[in-house]
Amino acid sequence: MTDITGQSLIAGEWITPAGKEYTSINPYTKEVFNAFKSCGVEEIEKAVSAAAYAYQQMRKMDGETIGTFLEAVADEIEALGDILLETGDTETGLGLARMTGERGRTTGQIRAFAAIAKKGEWVEAAIDTAIPDRAPLPKPDLRRMMTGIGPVAVFGASNFPFAFGVLGGDTASALAAGNPVIVKGHSAHPATSELFAKAIDAAIQKTGFPKGAFSLLQGANRELGTELVKHPVIQAVGFTGSEGGGRALMDIAAARPQPIPVYAEMGSINPVFLGPNTIKSTGDGIAAGLAGSVCMGTGQFCTSPGLAIMLEDANFEAKMVEALDAAPRGYLLNPRIQGSLQDAFKRFESIEGCEWLNKADFEEGSMTPPNAVFKTTGDVFLKEPELAEEAFGPVNLMVVCKDEVQMLEVGNSLKGQLTGSIHADEDPELAKAVLAILEQKVGRIIFNGYPTGVEVCPSQQHGGPYPSSSVSWATSVGADAIRRFARFVSYQATPDAFLPSALKNDNPLNIFRKVNGEMSQAKIG
C-alpha cells in the first residue's frame, strides 16, 4: 500500500488533518496501518463551503456534462488497476474475486447514473398548458420537474467497500442529480477510500468539473459524522450501515433547526419461509441453497438470510448442519464486526430454548467464525425479541413452529425487512398467506430463491420498512435511487426564457415529457 498518503481530499486539495490517529487492520494477518488521521470541524467547514459554491454551478449544468463527468469517474476507477483490488482485500478480507466483482458493479452503477443524467428523463418533466378561457376560473400554465437538493453527506458500510463506499450508489446517484457530495470515509477501510478519492479527483481535473463537487473526510471519530449531518449546508444524508448508526444520524438530522432526510439502509434478518410439504420433497436442495446464501461473504451481507421459519423437519435440520459444516470458514471484516458477532453468539446461547445445533470453536478475537445454525421454537422466538436482532455473520436461526398458524404469527411479529423469501410450491395456501404478510413487511419478495445477490436494474427495490430502511419507498440500488436526492419544483406562468431546458416549449433535450397528461416528445405551441 505504498501509494497511500493517509490524507483527506477537500475540494481538490489533499490535506493531512490534525485529528486522532487511527489504523485499519488486515483481517488475514491482523497487521495494522497507522497512517490515517481524523478530520474535524475545520475540515467540515472547508468541504461544505466548497460544496455550497459548487452546487450553484452544478444546478445549472445539463445532464450531458454531469454524465460525461460520471463516465470519467468510472474510467478513473478502472485506471487504478490492481492496487484497488489488493487494497480493498487487504482492508476487508473479502477476497480478490469478490473485489473484482464489486468493482464491476461499482463502475456499472456509476455508468448507469451517467446514462440517466444524459437521457434527462429522470426529472419527470410535466407540462400543463394554460386554459385562459376555462370557467369559472382560467387555468394557469404550470410546469414541474425534479431538481437536485444541494450538498449531500454520504456514509458507506464496511461490508461493501466499493459498491456502498466512497463512490458507491449513494454518491453516484447524488452527483447524477446535480448535488455535491461529502463522504465521511469509513474508519475500517481508509486506504480503499483514499484510492477512490484519487479516482474522482483525477476525473474532476480531466473534465474541469467543479472541485467542490466532492470531498472525502477521513476519520474514526463519531463527532465527524454527527457534525457533518448537523451542518446547515447539508441537505440530505445517504447512509449504509448498522441500525444503531443509521438511527443515531436520523435523530440528529430530525433535531436540526431544518430537519433533513436521512436515507439509511440498515441491517435486516431476511426471513425465509419453508412450507412443510415443500421441504419434505425438495428440502435437500433448499438446505444446500440456504446454507450457501448464509455463508456467502462470511454472512456479511445486509441480505443474508438470518431466519428460517418452518415446522419440525429432522432431515432438513440435518442437511443444514451438514452443508454449513462442509462450507469453509471465511474471514470477518474487522475487529468491531468480530466483537459484535461474538456478542450475538453469546446472546443466542444465553436464551433458554435456543440451541446451537453445530456448536464449534469461536475463540475470542478469532476472525474466522464458524458457519452456525441455531434452533428455537416459535413460542420462544415470540417472547424473546433479541432473537430477531441481526447477527451480522454466517448465522441462521431456525424457528420451528408448532403449526402453520404460528409460522404466520412469527412472520407478523417481525419488524421491517429488506427481503423475505418463500419456498412453498407444495404449500400453496401457506404461500398465499405468507405473501400477504411479506407484502407489508419487506422491500423485495423472493420465490424459490435466496436473498443474497442484488440485481442492479430499474425494477430492483433495495430498501424496506423501518428499521431495514429509514424511508420505506426509497431504494439505494437501481435507477430510482436518484429520486432520494431530488425534489420537484413547479413553475407557474413562467416565461419560456426563464424555464429550465426540460420544460421549455421547444424541448431542446428531446426528452419524453408529460404534456397535458400524455407522454410526448413534441414541441409545444
- Give the integer Cα–Cα distance in Å for 142 and 459: 30
The three cell numbers locating residue 5: 498518503
* Smallest gap from residue 327 Cβ to ligand NAP (A): 20
Of 265, 317, 390, 404, the catalytic one is: 265
* Smallest gap from residue 364 Cβ to ligand NAP (A): 19
Closest by Cα among 214, 196, 121 to 160? 196
The 3 state secondary structure assigned to 322-379 is HHHHHCCCCCCCCHHHHHHHHHHHHHHHHCCCCEECCCCCCCCCCCCCCCEEEEEEHH
Q: Which is nearer to ligand NAP, 246 or 276 (CB)?
A: 246
Q: Which is nearer to ligand NAP, 158 or 507 (CB)?
A: 158
Q: Which is nearer to ligand NAP, 164 or 209 (CB)?
A: 164
* Smallest gap from residue 313 Cβ to ligand NAP (A): 28
Q: Which is nearer to ligand NAP, 222 or 359 (CB)?
A: 222
- Give the integer Cα–Cα distance in Å for 447 and 445: 7
Pairing of strands 372-377, 395-401: parallel
The three cell numbers locating residue 441: 413487511
Give the 3-state secondary structure percentages of the chain, helix then strand then coil, rounded to 5.
45, 20, 40
Give the alpha-carbon dihedral of 65, 71, 77, 79, to 10 degrees. Answer: -110
- Asked if residue 467 has a cis previous peptide bond (ω within 30° of 0), the answer is yes
Q: Which is nearer to ligand NAP, 126 or 229 (CB)?
A: 229
Q: Which is nearer to ligand NAP, 278 or 469 (CB)?
A: 469
DSSP 141: P
Kindly list the residues in this chain that would bind ligand NAP in the complex (CB under 6 A): 155, 157-160, 164, 184, 186-187, 220, 222, 225-226, 240-242, 245, 248-249, 265-267, 302, 337, 390, 392, 418, 462, 476
* Smallest gap from residue 218 Cβ to ligand NAP (A): 9
Q: Which is nearer to ligand NAP, 65 or 303 (CB)?
A: 303
List of residues 6+ apart from 367 with CB closer than 8 A: 27, 28, 30, 93, 331, 332, 338
- Give the integer Cα–Cα distance in Å for 153 and 259: 14
Of 295, 302, 354, 401, the catalytic one is: 302
Burial class (CB in 10 A: 0-12, 13-18, 19+), 218: buried
Q: Which is nearer to ligand NAP, 218 or 235 (CB)?
A: 218
Residue found by looking up cell 419488524 in the block = 415
* Smallest gap from residue 176 Cβ to ligand NAP (A): 19
Helix-helix angle 190-207:82-92, to 10 degrees: 150
CB count, 10 Å around CB of 169?
30
* Smallest gap from residue 78 Cβ to ligand NAP (A): 23
- Give the integer Cα–Cα distance in Å for 312 and 318: 11
* Smallest gap from residue 192 Cβ to ligand NAP (A): 12
Instruction: Please indicate whether residue 409 is annotated as part of the active site.
Output: no
Instruction: Please indicate whether residue 91 is annotated as part of the active site.
Output: no
CB count, 10 Å around CB of 499?
16
* Smallest gap from residue 98 Cβ to ligand NAP (A): 14
CB count, 10 Å around CB of 385?
10
Active site residues: 265, 302
